[in-house]
Structure 1
């Protein structure tokens, strides 16, 4: 299926590009705006079909924007060095350093032990651990790291019960699905937890000059992630895959203790990483609470890079020249995502500079009379189901400028449609191809596509309701904004 999409997408992208280029300019739509729309059609097609690698598609504006006179090369390349890209890069460096010294594994084991060791509590423990880790570490790395632990517990359970048919074992199915879903849900809690969050913050900063701080986002993201983790746990363990009795026969604690024994005492390197991470996280939160002169002009990105630099500087063994973080480990961060950020920001600039945003807003003026809560629900539903078959980073990059245009057309605050679309991009629960964590647990052999699709559909429906309520009620309250009013800073200047 994927190969077929690539074969179709490769010629379809240029064909759509040429077709859009043929649209004649008219009132409100300049020639450059037509060309920007054509580039968007090409990139959207190649992003969705992955005709060429997603990061390669993300570099198209650097080539086409100058040739089509949308913007000069010097301006087209600037978004690829946006300060928020360095926030994500710093977070990536800290994450791979945790993985290098196995700190994330220790955090996971202690979390599971604290939550409890009955079957349903083990599932909850896995979800809490995976959710917390994916606030700071990629959801894929979190799933890959925790899946062997889950499989070991499932095997022990199978040995006790004598039932080795994992796909018909409710505990095995719920544990594997819980792991994948929690890794995706937890990333919602922080700006660096999942690429769509960082893309959204960067786009809002680029398009409107509005800053969403680390703490600002956590006020929305943490309650959102926490409540949906609980809803998912209840759906898995109480409704769809209930486990009756203690099928582990009291051996859950023993299994977790055995894993902790393998880790041994906490190493010096782990303690140093915890200290650096604590300082970074404290500064991220503190800068959103107080306005000290020392913080003036300092962004979350500077703090993230400072933390990463400390990891490069602090030695593990000075005599052997070993440091907490080396470049061999650092290069493992996902550079492709960083290029995707740049491409999305450049595309957003093109929308603004050519007046395409203003033109789209004019087309959507008829939406002004519709109830905002229903518009948000429709946006959430569209993006949730779109991200089931398309990269969530690509969907977020593509949809955010469009959501901004919808806001202008409806004369409402852009934060409503943009944040709703961004959050929805992380709710990919139905298919193995929807997001890497789903693919990882599907590969365990404990879950069928039917089981994942059925569970994911229920979660998508719950997600549409939850995101709509959070964006419509909670977000305006904690951020002190009015979603029904178009702010001056959101009115197109051109």
Structure 2
């Protein structure tokens, strides 16, 4: 109720308290509606997707944008790129290809306790690059619990060692599901928000390959540090040799021989990823967009027949498509259009001139730290939608290209490790009733600090190399 009332109240305060000679009528409308929408996003006074429709109602009605300008963002190319990625992910889950891939990774890595943790991390992170972190965590949680049961039943570990191993493997699922998504534009919503707002506000298209070149090393470094931290520091276990791989073999036997549908899904998945990454080398100057590739991959799955007389994807499968998330994209991009059309970013930049005294790297540290801890209690997409347009103005204020601040905001928005409520993966593993909140807070706090260091260094040193043109 507080959020419900606070939203429109903030709109009125912003609109009437900012003088007209300071900000135009349309810009005050856009800023007020942003405050209203952000408040309802944060407090979830309405369901987040429903709140995301506010801009399409209020911006044209109150004169902030035309209806065409406000509504166009809901059909932005990045929305359709994500839709295509989601469709491919639905096919992967429908035919249980994700589970087969995870079990094969575990079989290759080995069955010593620390290697099992590493295998779970690799499988989870890889899947999270292409599938939502929530779906990945929910798929990997039964695998992790099966491992724990195997260790306990066969008395491979016991007492404090079993407790530490159980906690480390569950946290590896939660944290790897968030970290893996950093590597690709479709792996984490804030990454896609960054790409969309870069195009909208700066007229600079961030291609899949560019982000992968930047985000993949960041994800890999964080995963390595996560593995060392969980298995060597926070939950160190004394090894007692290899454990039985029976649970892996049983899982693969339950899945049976790889079906024709799985093979086709795997081929389409690989082809789509290959085209995303090597688009520039394959098509040269042709205007083949990441969005076209994503939709092409999804369409193929609707064309390829399955052995049951249907197709690999049927339209009824689309009930699993997260339509609300696509609306959330649209709402954020509609507000970003308002920022661009009314020059709100320039006004914000002018009002942030006093930050000129701070060095760029100090700004990165403050921004990354603030967002990272903010997203512990807020939706990562809501944080990205609110903060990324502001970072554009901040970049203008200190006289630098804003891509670094935007990328830092996007990465930090996805790194929430301290609380069960922070992300769906955290909540999923906490539901196993093995972890205490204090375990997650203690492990997550230090991982937050590690993430701040890695993100700041990556943005400061590596991003300018990747986005040099």
In structure 2, what is the Cα distance between the partners aligned to 1:139 and 1:345? 22
Q: Which residue of 2 aligns with 1:329?
A: 317
RMSD: 1.6
| Aligned partner of 1:312 among 292, 302, 308 | 302
Please list every run of 5 or more consecutive structure 1 residues that lacks an aligned counterpart in the other structure. 1-6, 482-494
In structure 2, what is the Cα distance between the partners aligned to 1:453 and 1:328? 40
Equivalenced residue count is 469
| Aligned partner of 1:279 among 250, 271, 289 | 271
Structure 2 residue 401 is matched with structure 1 residue 413: yes
Change (3 A) 1:334 1:164: farther
Shift of 1:288: 3.2
In structure 2, what is the Cα distance between the partners aligned to 1:8 and 1:46? 10
Cα displacement string for residues 65-108 of structure 1 (whole angstroms, at most 9, x for unaligned residues): 11211111122100000011111000000001000000000000
Tell me, yes or no, if the aligned pair for 2:113 and 2:242 is still in contact at 8 Å: no
Q: SS where residue 252 of structure 1 aligns?
A: coil
In structure 2, what is the Cα distance between the partners aligned to 1:445 and 1:164? 18
In structure 2, what is the Cα distance between the partners aligned to 1:130 and 1:166? 25
Q: SS where residue 347 of structure 1 aligns?
A: helix
Aligned pairs for 1:358-369 (under 5 A) are 358-369=346-357
Q: SS where residue 306 of structure 2 aligns?
A: strand
Cα displacement string for residues 380-433 of structure 1 (whole angstroms, at most 9, x for unaligned residues): 001100100000000001111000010011110110110000000010000010
Change (3 A) 1:472 1:323: same
Shift of 1:264: 1.8
Tell me, yes or no, if the aligned pair for 2:179 and 2:222 is still in contact at 8 Å: yes
In structure 2, what is the Cα distance between the partners aligned to 1:277 and 1:156? 32
Shift of 1:166: 9.3
Q: So what's the TM-score if we normalise by structure 2?
A: 0.97
Change (3 A) 1:166 1:10: farther
Shift of 1:368: 2.2
In structure 1, what is the Cα distance between the partners aligned to 2:457 and 2:343? 32
Change (3 A) 1:62 1:165: farther
Tell me, yes or no, if the aligned pair for 2:69 and 2:337 is still in contact at 8 Å: no
In structure 1, what is the Cα distance between the partners aligned to 2:331 and 2:280? 28
Q: So what's the TM-score if we normalise by structure 1?
A: 0.92
Q: Which residue of 1 aligns with 2:376?
A: 388
Tell me, yes or no, if the aligned pair for 1:97 and 1:325 is still in contact at 8 Å: yes
In structure 2, what is the Cα distance between the partners aligned to 1:175 and 1:252? 17
Q: Which residue of 2 aligns with 1:189?
A: 183
Cα displacement string for residues 18-45 of structure 1 (whole angstroms, at most 9, x for unaligned residues): 2212124344411221121111111111
Q: Which residue of 2 aligns with 1:357?
A: 345
Q: SS where residue 373 of structure 1 aligns?
A: helix
Q: SS where residue 292 of structure 2 aligns?
A: helix
| Aligned partner of 2:57 among 55, 60, 63 | 63
In structure 1, what is the Cα distance between the partners aligned to 2:156 and 2:456? 45
Please list every run of 5 or more consecutive structure 2 residues that lacks an aligned counterpart in the other structure. none
Change (3 A) 1:164 1:332: farther
